[in-house]
C-alpha cells in the first residue's frame, strides 16, 4: 500500500513542538502508517527511516530500491548491497544532519538495526512510543473505511464459522477453513484465527489444536485480519445445540457488558470510562471472579496499538480513534465467553465496524 501522503509533515511538526531532533523508524507498522511501506521484503536487513525536523532519509537494501523510488514524494534513498553491508549507508544517512540532542527510536525496531545506528543517536535515545501513539490514535477517513472493509470480511468469517462448525470437527480444521476463506476473499494478512472449543476458551489466547468440537458445547472464534493495510478484530461464540441455563445467562451478561462498553465509547470519554461501563455489568451479574483482564485495545495498522482500554487509563478518546470492546468471562474447566467488536469513535457516537454483537448463535448439534 502507498496511500499515506501527509503523515511525514505531521510527524515533523510534532517533533518541532516537542523538541525532538531525530526519530528512527522501521521496519515496522509505524513505517507502514507513516509512508505506506513496511519493508517486509527486506527481511532481516537494515531498513530504517531517519526523520529530522526538516529532512528525512531511507536506508534500504539495493534490491528494494526500484519499489521505493517508484512512488513519488518519498524521502531520498541511501541503498546498500549485501556484499558491502549497510555500514556506509547508515553513516551517510546520519551525516546529513548534526548529531541529535534528542533522538527517539521506534520501539519495535530490531536490535541489530538500532545497534548500527546507536553511535549517531546522541547521548540517550528514548522510545518513540508516546510520540507515535499520539499521532496514530486519530485515524483518517480512509483508515476507518479500510478498517470497516476488514471488519466486514471478518464478520463474514464468523458467519461461516456459525454455518460450518459441527461436532467431530477439530479446532484446527475449522481454523484452516476460516483462514482459507479470509485469503480467498481478499485479506492482506491474518494476525490470528483462534478457534477454542469448550473449556479451551477459558484461555483467551488458546491458538487451536486437535481438540474436537462437541455437541452441547460452545466454540469461541476470534479473528484479526487486514484489508488494504488496516485490520479489524472480532470475537463471538457458537453453541452446538441448546445451551444450559447457566451458559445462556453468562452469555447474556457478557453481551450486555459489551453493549455498555460500546455506548460509553464517545468523544472525550476515557478508556477507563469504557472499561468501567463494561465491567460493572459483569460485576452486577455476579461474574466478577471470572472477569477478563482488559476490555479492549486500539487497532488500525497494527492488531494491538494504543490505547489500552483498561481501568485506570484516563486519556480521552478523540474523534477518529478506533478501539475494540471485548469484555469476557473465563471460567477454568467450563468455558470462556467473549463478545468483541471493532468500534470507531465519531462525533456522532460510537460506530461498530464489525458484526460481533448478535444474539447467541445456536447451531444444530
Q: Structural domain boundaries of the chain? A: 7-136, 141-363
Q: Structurally, what CATH architecture does the domain formed by 141-363 represent?
A: Alpha-Beta Complex (3.90)
pLDDT band of residue 4 (cuts 50, 70, 90) is: low
pLDDT of residue 353: 99
pLDDT of residue 179: 99
pLDDT band of residue 75 (cuts 50, 70, 90) is: very high
Q: Do domains 7-136 and 141-363 have the same CATH topology?
A: no
Task: Dig out the grid coordinates for 145 from the structure.
Answer: 473505511
pLDDT band of residue 198 (cuts 50, 70, 90) is: very high
Q: pTM score > 0.85 for this model?
A: yes
What is the arithmetic mean of pLDDT over 155-184?
A: 98
pLDDT band of residue 157 (cuts 50, 70, 90) is: very high
pLDDT band of residue 2 (cuts 50, 70, 90) is: low
Rounded to the nearest integer, the mean pLDDT of the chain is 95
Least Cα distance to 179 among 195, 167, 165 occurs for 195
pLDDT greater than 80 at residue 253: yes
CATH topology of domain 7-136: Creatine Amidinohydrolase; Chain A, domain 1 (3.40.350)
Amino acid at each position: 500500500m502507498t496511500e499515506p501522503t501527509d503523515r511525514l509533515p505531521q510527524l515533523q511538526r510534532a517533533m518541532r513542538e516537542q523538541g525532538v531532533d531525530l526519530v528512527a523508524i522501521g521496519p515496522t507498522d509505524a513505517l507502514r502508517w507513516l509512508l505506506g511501506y513496511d519493508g517486509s521484503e527486506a527481511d532481516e536487513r537494515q531498513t530504517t527511516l531517519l526523520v529530522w525536523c526538516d529532512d528525512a532519509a531511507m536506508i534500504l537494501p539495493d534490491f528494494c530500491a526500484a519499489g521505493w523510488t517508484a512512488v513519488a514524494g518519498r524521502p531520498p534513498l541511501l541503498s546498500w548491497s549485501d556484499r558491502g553491508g549497510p555500514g556506509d549507508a547508515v553513516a551517510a544517512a546520519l551525516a546529513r544532519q548534526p548529531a541529535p540532542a534528542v533522538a527517539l527510536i521506534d520501539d519495535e525496531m530490531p536490535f541489530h538495526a538500532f545497534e548500527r545506528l546507536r553511535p549517531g543517536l546522541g547521548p540517550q535515545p528514548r522510545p518513540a512510543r508516546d510520540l507515535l501513539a499520539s499521532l496514530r490514535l486519530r485515524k483518517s477517513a480512509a483508515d476507518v473505511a479500510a478498517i470497516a472493509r476488514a471488519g466486514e470480511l471478518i464478520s463474514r468469517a464468523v458467519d461461516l464459522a456459525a454455518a460450518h462448525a459441527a461436532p467431530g470437527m477439530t479446532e484446527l480444521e475449522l481454523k484452516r477453513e476460516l483462514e482459507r476463506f479470509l485469503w480467498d476473499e481478499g485479506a492482506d494478512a491474518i494476525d490470528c484465527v483462534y478457534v477454542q472449543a469448550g473449556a479451551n476458551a477459558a484461555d483467551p489466547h488458546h491458538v487451536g489444536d486437535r481438540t474436537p468440537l462437541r455437541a452441547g458445547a460452545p466454540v469461541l472464534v476470534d479473528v484479526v485480519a487486514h484489508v488494504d493495510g488496516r485490520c479489524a478484530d472480532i470475537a463471538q461464540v457458537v453453541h452446538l445445540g441448546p445451551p444450559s441455563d447457566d451458559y445462556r445467562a453468562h452469555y447474556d451478561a457478557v453481551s450486555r457488558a459489551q453493549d455498555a462498553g460500546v455506548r460509553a465509547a464517545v468523544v472525550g470519554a476515557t478508556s477507563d470510562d469504557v472499561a468501567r461501563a463494561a465491567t460493572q455489568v459483569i460485576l452486577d451479574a455476579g461474574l466478577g471472579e471470572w472477569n477478563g483482564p482488559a476490555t479492549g485495545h486500539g487497532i488500525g495498522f497494527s492488531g494491538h496499538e494504543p490505547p489500552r482500554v483498561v481501568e485506570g487509563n484516563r486519556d480521552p478518546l478523540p474523534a477518529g480513534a478506533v478501539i475494540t470492546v471485548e469484555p469476557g468471562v473465563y471460567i477454568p474447566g467450563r468455558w470462556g465467553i467473549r463478545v468483541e467488536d471493532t468500534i470507531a469513535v465519531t462525533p456522532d457516537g460510537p460506530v461498530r465496524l464489525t458484526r460481533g454483537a448478535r444474539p447467541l448463535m445456536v447451531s444444530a448439534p
